[in-house]
């Protein structure tokens, strides 16, 4: 399964070069508040010097408001026929080929195995609100993200910067970035409208709520502490005591209504690549993420949003079944059951909310990705400076009470970016690696969440100190697979620096 996600990298590079030759080539909640609902506003008739009325102070309730909603974004039969393309296991629209330069198999989807959705979770406190919106797709371009946020902001008082749109990253689902063929216009329009509707509905139906957080170290271990079922590292990093090979933190945020104490909605966060459905299957599927949310919703009776974590080098480990779908079901349902069980040990989040955003530009220097941009230009859903190859992106930081800190990052976060690298750790051919501070090491709350591929889907985030030094690095590839799919060497460090700056500015 692992090899299929690195499908024929060198031949693909040659294909790209051949094609190009043929073609010629923050603020805190006290100041930046959203408009409040009618129940939160008091009106008076005070006058200011007999002319203009005095501004009436806004009186906010001393509790959270929360809402959740799910919208079906499955392509129709007509849209499948017109053309929607799968986002994983390939490049520039080519998913597989049996012979070099012959018998290409494009990434065009052939049908629907299971429906795909947009899932939204909204929370608000004293006029400051945020929304997590996760789509069952592989990748999303910033043009699509910006159109969704614009629609939501127009219909609600949610600021665009506080709407965090991400992908589950199922390789059996759709490409909304365009490098694998993209999606037909009718589907693109439907998806934007339906996703916006999910967020708007979640916002408009929010009710007084309490928020809770729980976490568990996910995975089954043998008598020696080795993980035998759960997640594992696909780059070959060892699982060491006190220094795991992947970030196995399974985090859950639950919103419960104050009046009935019923679950309003839930976010589940774990980092793992959804690549259990193989490259030989062309029907659209949510992979394990679908089985995960379906099971969690059956257990809780409320909408569940699955948010990816540090998944860049994490994959399901030790799972079996009679076919790909059963393997995905076994894994997804096990994660869901572990997440719901963790609610037994949840803690209530204090009534405090802080949100901030760090905008920055990143320059694309990777020659392969430049080739992809040029070859797939007509399909790409990416706004960037065509002269400098700079893309504007962002890191977001959210703190809920003193219990939970969250960072959203615009790409596929590898383990070390989340957990850090210990100075002198050994990599390829026992080469010592320079230490690197992980995002979670900069957090001081007892519960910590890193949300990958959220806000943007700008491929891999690999810290420069481990560049081409993973234990399974193959020098015949010139670059490791993840390194080959990075915008540049500094991107991960830029994300980390921005996240740390946002955390330092939060003087809690």
Taking only the tens place, the pLDDT of each residue in 259-268 is 999 999 999 9
Residue 143: the pLDDT is: 98
Query: How many residues appear in the chain?
Result: 508
| Token reading at 417 | 């970016």
| DSSP string across 163-206 | EEEEE---TTSBEESSTT--B-HHHHHHHHHHHHHHHHHHHHT-
Q: 230 or 12, which is more confident?
A: 230
**353/30 Cα distance (integer angstroms):** 10
Phi, psi of 201, rounded to the nearest 5 degrees: -65, -45
The predicted model gives 407-425 an average pLDDT of: 96
Residue 51: the pLDDT is: 65
Average pLDDT value over all residues in the chain: 90
The predicted model gives 79-96 an average pLDDT of: 92
**365/51 Cα distance (integer angstroms):** 60
Task: Read off the pLDDT band of 42 (50, 70, 90).
Answer: very low
* Residue 476 burial class via C-beta count within 10 angstroms: exposed 0-12, middle 13-18, buried 19 and up: exposed
Domain residue spans of the chain: 3-27+62-505
Q: Are strands 128-135 and 163-167 parallel, antiparallel or unpaired?
A: parallel
Residue 325: the pLDDT is: 98
Q: Is 313 helix (H, G, I), strand (E, B) or coil?
A: coil
Task: Read off the pLDDT band of 3 (50, 70, 90).
Answer: very low
Q: Which of 298, 287, 355, 383 is nearest to 130 (CA)?
A: 355
Q: Which of 128, 302, 123 is nearest to 206 (CA)?
A: 123
Residue 175: the pLDDT is: 97
Residue 119: the pLDDT is: 98
Strands (E) in 335-374, as ranges, are 347-348, 353-363
Task: Read off the pLDDT band of 43 (50, 70, 90).
Answer: very low
Which of 29-38, 377-386, 464-473, 475-484 is the least confident region? 29-38
**261/498 Cα distance (integer angstroms):** 38
Per residue in 9-37, pLDDT (tens digit) is: 444 444 444 444 444 444 444 333 333 33
**494/483 Cα distance (integer angstroms):** 16
In the block, tokens 């994300």 appear at 495
Strands (E) in 189-303, as ranges, are 207-217, 220-221, 227-233, 249-257, 263-270, 283-284
């Amino acid at each position: 399964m692992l090899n299929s996600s690195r499908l024929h990298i060198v031949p693909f590079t040659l294909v790209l070069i051949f094609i190009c030759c043929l073609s010629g080539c923050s603020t805190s909640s006290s100041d930046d508040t959203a408009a409040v609902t009618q129940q939160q506003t008091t009106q008076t008739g005070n006058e200011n010097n007999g002319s203009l009325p005095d501004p009436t102070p806004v009186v906010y309730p001393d509790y959270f408001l929360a809402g959740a909603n799910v919208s079906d974004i499955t392509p129709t039969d007509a849209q499948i026929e017109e053309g929607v393309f799968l986002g994983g296991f390939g490049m520039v629209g080519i998913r597989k080929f049996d012979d070099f330069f012959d018998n290409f198999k494009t990434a065009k989807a052939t049908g629907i195995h299971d429906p795909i959705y947009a899932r939204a979770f909204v929370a608000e406190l004293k006029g400051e609100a945020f929304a997590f919106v996760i789509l069952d797709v592989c990748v999303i371009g910033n043009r699509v993200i910006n159109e969704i946020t614009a629609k939501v902001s127009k219909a609600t008082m949610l600021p665009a910067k506080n709407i965090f749109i991400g992908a589950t990253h199922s390789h059996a689902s759709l490409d909304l970035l365009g490098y694998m063929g993209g999606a037909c216009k009718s589907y693109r329009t439907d998806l934007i409208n339906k996703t916006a509707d999910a967020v708007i509905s979640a916002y408009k139906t929010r009710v007084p709520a309490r928020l809770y957080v729980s976490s568990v170290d996910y995975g089954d271990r043998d008598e020696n502490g080795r993980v035998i079922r759960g997640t594992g590292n696909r780059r070959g990093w060892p699982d060491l005591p006190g220094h795991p090979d992947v970030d196995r933190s399974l985090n859950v945020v639950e919103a419960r209504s104050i009046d009935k104490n019923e679950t309003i909605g839930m976010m589940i966060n774990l980092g793992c690549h959804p690549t259990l459905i193989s490259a030989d299957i062309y029907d659209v599927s949510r992979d394990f993420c679908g089985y995960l949310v379906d099971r969690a919703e059956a257990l809780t009776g409320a909408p569940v949003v699955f948010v990816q974590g540090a998944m860049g080098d994490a994959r399901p480990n030790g799972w079996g079944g009679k076919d790909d779908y059963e393997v995905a079901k076994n894994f997804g349902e096990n994660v869901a059951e572990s997440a719901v069980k963790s609610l037994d040990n949840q803690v209530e989040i204090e009534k405090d909310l802080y949100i901030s955003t760090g905008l920055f530009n990143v320059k694309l220097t990777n020659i392969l990705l430049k080739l992809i941009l040029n070859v797939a230009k007509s399909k790409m859903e990416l706004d960037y400076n065509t002269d400098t190859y700079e893309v504007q992106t962002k890191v977001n930081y959210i703190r809920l009470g003193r219990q939970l800190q969250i960072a959203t990052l615009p790409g596929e976060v590898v383990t070390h970016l989340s957990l850090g690298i210990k100075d002198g750790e050994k990599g390829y051919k026992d080469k010592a690696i320079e230490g690197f501070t992980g995002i979670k090491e900069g957090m001081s709350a007892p519960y910590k969440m890193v949300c990958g591929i959220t806000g943007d889907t700008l491929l891999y985030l690999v810290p420069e100190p481990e560049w081409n030094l993973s234990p399974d690095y193959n020098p015949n590839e010139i670059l490791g697979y993840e390194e080959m799919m990075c915008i540049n060497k500094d991107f991960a460090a830029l994300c980390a620096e921005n996240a740390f700056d946002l955390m330092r500015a939060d003087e809690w």
